[in-house]
């Protein structure tokens, strides 16, 4: 990139990011140009993304904690997944945790500073009985930690299931798009890209906060990366987790190492420019691919997973907290709204006229 082209590019994407005007978003061409910048320009790109990140999220980092309710033996064949049909990966396999066991695990994450607990179960999607089981688990988690945010990730949702989860106290639902629609069939054959889009829509339609992201490093092109990030923008989620492939032995993508720490940072910066006022989460694989550049990623992302992942161990929670502090950031407290004011949900009135609750006067 020429000496004049880079400043012009960064000036444009930063200006659009600071404004966060849906009528004037970062374009596909600009997003591709960010990914095409050289390693010698990396610090300028990260600093530009940092300006946008701080505009909307200050120096706060939201901590999220994963609880794997049911591990392994999934009937889907997602090529990247250690729990997939036919996986020979040496990962834990167990059926549903009891509500108390799940609440114990969640409490450990909250004690470590997590603001959100993510309850995850392997499988194509939940049965109605599974939804009832998760509802009991949510109750057990909330009984011990009433202020914690609860996100569920149970696969493809059927009609009415998102509403049941919301009634049970679930705040958010995660279902990632993972890669672009054009290449989705190259990473999964047992369901389609449209199925994932439909589930995100069902979660949003039920009033749940939508969480949907991607996995980088699966052999995709820059065009695929930009397209999935733009496809996510069209869905308007509140959270966008950016995962980096963990190439488990015993899966079709074992031995796939296509990312450098510099490329991973460019992907995060591009995601921030396209989603300026959305929670961008530094997710699975960060330790493997960012390595010593993890602290720089916090200039782009305002959220991370604390500790371990679903089937792999992560960086120690204590080390995560030290990294956040050393990089000049602070852990977001339970009483702080993550989202910028203009993106917060409208609060439905349940006091005053027509109720037994005193009015706000």
pLDDT digits (tens, 9 = 90+) for 262-281: 999 999 999 999 999 999 99
The per-residue pLDDT for range 82-105, each reduced to its tens digit, is 988 888 888 888 899 999 999 999
The per-residue pLDDT for range 187-233, each reduced to its tens digit, is 999 999 999 999 999 999 999 999 999 999 999 999 999 999 999 99
Distance CA 143, CA 242 (A): 31
Q: Is 188 annotated as a binding residue?
A: no
Q: Who wins on pLDDT, 47 or 346? A: 47
Q: Who wins on pLDDT, 345 or 69? A: 69
> How far, in Å, are 156, 248, 295, 361 from residue 34 at the CA level?
33, 29, 20, 50
Q: Give the mean model confidence (pLDDT) for residues 244-269.
A: 95
Tell me what pLDDT residue 359 has: 64
Residues of the chain with pLDDT > 90, as a percent, come to 83
The per-residue pLDDT for range 37-46, each reduced to its tens digit, is 999 999 999 9
Tell me what pLDDT residue 314 has: 87
- pTM listed for this prediction: 0.93
Tell me what pLDDT residue 236 has: 97
SS (H, E, C) 171-229: CEEECCCECCHHHHHHCCCCCCHHHHHHHHHHHHHCCCEEECCEEECCCCCHHHHHHHH
Tell me what pLDDT residue 355 has: 60
Q: Is 118 annotated as a binding residue?
A: yes
Tell me what pLDDT residue 343 has: 84
Tell me what pLDDT residue 202 has: 97
| Dihedral angle sign, alpha carbons of residues 107, 67, 194, 256 | positive
Q: Is 81 annotated as a binding residue?
A: yes
Q: Is 153 annotated as a binding residue?
A: no
Domains of the chain: 52-334 (3.20.20.70)
- Average pLDDT along the chain: 93
Residues 121 and 102 sit within 8 Å (Cβ to Cβ): no
Nearest 10 degrees: Cα torsion 101, 89, 285, 245: -130
Cα–chain-centroid distance for residue 303? 8
The per-residue pLDDT for range 150-188, each reduced to its tens digit, is 999 999 999 999 999 999 999 999 999 999 999 999 999
The per-residue pLDDT for range 327-339, each reduced to its tens digit, is 999 999 888 999 9
Tell me what pLDDT residue 136 has: 97
Tell me what pLDDT residue 349 has: 41
Tell me what pLDDT residue 257 has: 96
Q: Is 211 annotated as a binding residue?
A: yes
């Amino acid at each position: 990139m020429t000496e004049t082209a880079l400043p012009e590019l960064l000036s444009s994407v930063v200006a659009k990011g600071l404004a966060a005007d849906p009528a004037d978003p970062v374009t596909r061409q600009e997003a591709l140009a960010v990914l095409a910048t050289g390693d010698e320009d990396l610090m300028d790109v990260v600093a530009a993304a940092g300006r946008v990140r701080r505009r909307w999220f200050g120096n706060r980092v939201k901590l999220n904690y994963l609880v794997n309710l049911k591990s392994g033996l999934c009937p889907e064949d997602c090529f990247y997944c250690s729990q997939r049909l036919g996986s020979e990966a040496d990962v834990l396999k167990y059926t549903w945790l009891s509500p108390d066991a799940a609440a114990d695990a969640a409490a450990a994450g909250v004690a470590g500073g997590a603001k959100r607990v993510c309850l995850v179960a392997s499988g194509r999607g939940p049965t109605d009985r599974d939804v009832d089981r998760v509802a009991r688990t949510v109750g057990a988690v909330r009984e011990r930690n009433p202020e914690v945010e609860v996100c569920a990730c149970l696969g493809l949702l059927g009609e009415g299931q998102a509403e049941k989860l919301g009634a049970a106290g679930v705040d958010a639902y995660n279902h990632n798009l993972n890669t672009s629609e054009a290449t989705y069939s190259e990473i999964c054959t047992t369901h389609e890209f449209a199925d994932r889009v439909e589930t995100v829509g069902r979660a949003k339609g039920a009033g749940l906060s939508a969480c949907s992201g991607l996995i980088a490093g699966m052999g995709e092109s820059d065009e695929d990366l930009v397209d999935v990030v733009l496809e996510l923008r069209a869905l308007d989620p509140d959270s966008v987790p950016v995962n980096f492939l963990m190439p488990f032995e015993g899966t079709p993508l074992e031995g796939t190492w296509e990312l450098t720490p510099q490329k991973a940072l460019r992907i995060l910066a591009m995601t921030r420019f396209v989603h300026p006022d959305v929670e961008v989460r530094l997710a699975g694989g960060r330790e493997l691919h960012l390595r010593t550049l993890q602290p720089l990623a916090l200039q782009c992302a305002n959220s991370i997973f604390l500790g371990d992942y679903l089937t792999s161990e992560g960086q120690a929670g204590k080390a995560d907290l030290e990294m956040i502090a050393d990089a000049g950031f602070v852990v977001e407290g339970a009483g702080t709204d993550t989202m910028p004011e203009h993106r917060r949900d409208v609060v439905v009135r349940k006091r005053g006229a027509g109720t037994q609750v005193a009015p706000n006067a």
